[in-house]
Amino acid sequence: MSCIYCDHYILYKLKDGYYKCAKCKRKFSPKRVERKAKILKGFLDELTPQEISQKYSISYATVVKEIKNIRKVIASICEEEFLKKDEIKEFEEYLYLPKTSKELIKAQNFLTIDYGGKIYNIMLSPMKNYTGFDEEKIKSFFRQSRIIKVQNHANIYKFWEYFENFIKKFKGVSEENFFYYLKEAEFRFNGFKIEVKDLF
């Protein structure tokens, strides 16, 4: 075992069961690390919170809370990966409307970027900001404001197809949480990695 914070290999075991790092002097609970590791594995295996709770005998509330944290960390990982790149191949705007709704005004609007074979997404102005426009005017607006003429959209279209299948599993995602689910899809599609130490 190494320090969860700085990865140093010298640790002191304390009487309360915690470990203290000889280098950074920070303490951590091995039980907490193990619990986070189990939840992360279940999350990466695409188990539901209830399935993770049952499989590892961890309270459902704890699992839900930790998954929220995992999604926030994943969003940061996606941001960091994007900032490492400077080559944008193509990008296009996308409107996602759940099949349960027929109102275009409830669609989520985001920009999908292909950079060096990886995908990055940016949330755009919510469609509710266009309240008062009729749907044909909205459609016309988006046709006239195409951001870029792209060659073939191959990778972008693959992501959109992946995202459509991915988001169905959740049976409804609130507007405030949509960003984190979009980033989770981006993270999984790109094959990015996350470790337990990233959660501390």
Which tens digit of pLDDT belongs to each residue from 55-68? Answer: 999 999 999 999 99
Structure tokens at 8: 């140093």
Query: pLDDT by residue (tens digit) across 115-127?
Result: 888 999 988 876 6
> Which of the residue ranges 24-28, 122-126, 147-151 has the most confident prediction, judged by mean pLDDT?
24-28
Alpha-carbon distance of 90 to 113, in angstroms, equals: 6
The full DSSP string for 85-126 is -----EEEEEEE--TT---GGG-EEEEEEEETTEEEEEE---
Tell me the residue type at 139.
Answer: K
pLDDT of 94 > 70? The answer is yes
Dihedral sign for Cα 158, 160, 166, 169, please: negative
Decide if pLDDT at 149 tops 60: no
Comparing 151 with 18, the larger pLDDT belongs to 18
pLDDT the model gives residue 102:
62
β-strand partners of 93: 111
**43-57 per-position pLDDT tens digit:** 999 999 999 999 999
* Average pLDDT over all residues of the chain: 84
pTM, two decimals, is: 0.80
Dist. CA 162–CA 185, nearest whole Å: 8
pLDDT at 197 over 50: yes
Has residue 83 got a pLDDT over 50?
yes
- Average of per-residue pLDDT across 127-149: 53
> How much of the chain, in percent, has pLDDT values that exceed 70?
80
Q: Is the pLDDT of residue 103 over 70?
A: no
pLDDT at res. 89: 72
The residue ranking higher by pLDDT, 131 or 145, is 131
